[in-house]
Amino acid sequence: MKKSIIPLTLGGLSIGTTEFVVMGILPNMANYFGITVSQAGQFISLYALGVVIGAPFIVLLSGKMKPKRILLFLMIAFTLFNALSVFSPSASFLSITRFFSGLPHGAFFGVGSIVASRLAAEGKEAKNISLMFLGLTVANLVMVPLGTYLGQQFSWQVTLGLVALIGLITCISIYSWLPDLPIRKKISIGAELSFFKTKEAWLITFMTALGTGGGFAWLSYIAPLMTENAGVQESFMMYIMILVGLGMVIGNLIGGRLADRVAPVKACMIIFLIIAANLMTFFLFSEVKWLALLLCFTCGASFLALASPIQLLMLRTAKDAEMISAGVTQASFNIGNSLGAYLGGLILMLGYGFQFPSLAGFFLALIGFALAFTFYRVADT
């Protein structure tokens, strides 16, 4: 890996840790504040909402600041609000800091995707983007399990303190190693937003928001699913998260290479079908421990395999509106995050078992496939 890509990978590591680690310690956070697991799901949903609201601000920044300065500004804000989360006196305060922690997320990955593609050789854009998302997948392989362990053995505050530390290291690496690329052109907000007059833009946006919600519906409640249904001890959840993270690492790399070999929309169609099959199998056989463990790996792999193909599909479709499109893609991912967590929590509040969020995820993944297929039929990308 080139040194110039390392700051983007570390950014993915920082963001991936704070986004996914809460899912492994959600019961611990609920117990600390005296609320239910479904109520604690707001820590996931509000973070995702922050991502959705924050991402479009790329347009306001990109025409006036170089990419390096944008990324440094975003990571400083990310680090600050994660540090404030450590000192949360109440669930309400933590909800607020989680929301503000999410604001830089989509913008960072959006600008980072553009920087990664500009640093890549022709035909290797998806591979470079996947190296940025490699940080996110390594977060799930190493940092999320570690954070889950620290949260269970000590406290969730230790876990979020670790996130703030990683954010600080990322800030230093951006300042030291990221090339100071010039502003490619003066951004016209009107021209950027005009992209969303096209049907392709909305197809990708809804495909991402609804389709990825399937994976988040499963992942948001993985801790109670594995402990209550599969019979795994809570102390073993660290190893479950390692298994999920290993799948994400492998799936992300496969997804990046697949999108460089076939049209990104075709890669999305294939992956959505695999996600749907995994989630239906999880719904039907969650009480079979060995199969549930295998599915933790395959669900993680198929879920993160989507990251690079969808991001590249949006960038190629948007063309001159790359800044807003990159940010909106990340916002759409986190609409999926919020939607999946919300629907999963609603299902649990209605009294259904912990396997039922996976069933909801199955239908969302099929919707993602249907939208990808529609895009394939109406667009030439």
Q: What is the DSSP string of 255-286?
A: HHHHHHHS-HHHHHHHHHHHHHHHHHHHHHHT
Say how many residues make up the chain: 381
pLDDT of residue 292: 94
Domain edges within the chain: 3-378
In terms of Cα–Cα distance, which of 190, 197, 194, 205 is closest to 63?
190
Q: What is the CATH number of domain 3-378?
A: 1.20.1250.20
In terms of Cα–Cα distance, which of 178, 130, 167 is closest to 307?
130
The angle that helices 199-211 and 322-349 make with each other, rounded to 10 degrees, is 40
Burial of 167 per CB tally in 10 Å (0-12, 13-18, 19+): buried
Query: Could you give the C-alpha distances from 353 to 151, 283, 290, in angstroms and in order?
Result: 25, 10, 19
Contacts of residue 294, Cβ cutoff 8 Å, sequence gap at least 6 = none
Residue 142's CB is within 10 A of a number of other CB atoms, namely 17
pLDDT of residue 249: 83
Residue 283's CB is within 10 A of a number of other CB atoms, namely 19
Contacts of residue 373, Cβ cutoff 8 Å, sequence gap at least 6 = 269
Contact 208, 303 (CB under 8 A): no
What are the φ/ψ torsions at residue 220 (nearest 5 degrees)?
A: -60, -30
Q: What's the CA gap between 301 and 247, in Å, rounded?
A: 4
Query: Could you give the C-alpha distances from 198 to 48, 100, 186, 202, 380, in angstroms and in order?
Result: 25, 31, 22, 7, 13
User: Tokens in use for 10?
Assistant: 């570390």
pLDDT of residue 381: 47
Contact 310, 264 (CB under 8 A): yes
Q: Residue 178 is which amino acid?
A: L
pLDDT of residue 99: 94
pLDDT of residue 372: 95
Q: What's the CA gap between 362 and 365, in Å, rounded?
A: 5
Contact 302, 274 (CB under 8 A): yes
Q: Which residue has the tokens 């460089």?
A: 260
CA angle 95, 96, 97 (to 5 degrees): 95
pLDDT of residue 287: 93
Query: Could you give the C-alpha distances from 352 to 45, 176, 227, 323, 343, in angstroms and in order?
Result: 20, 51, 16, 42, 12
pLDDT of residue 72: 93
pLDDT of residue 90: 93
pLDDT of residue 60: 60
* Residue ranges of the chain whose pLDDT lies below 70: 1, 56-64, 122-124, 183-193, 320, 322-323, 380-381
pLDDT of residue 59: 57
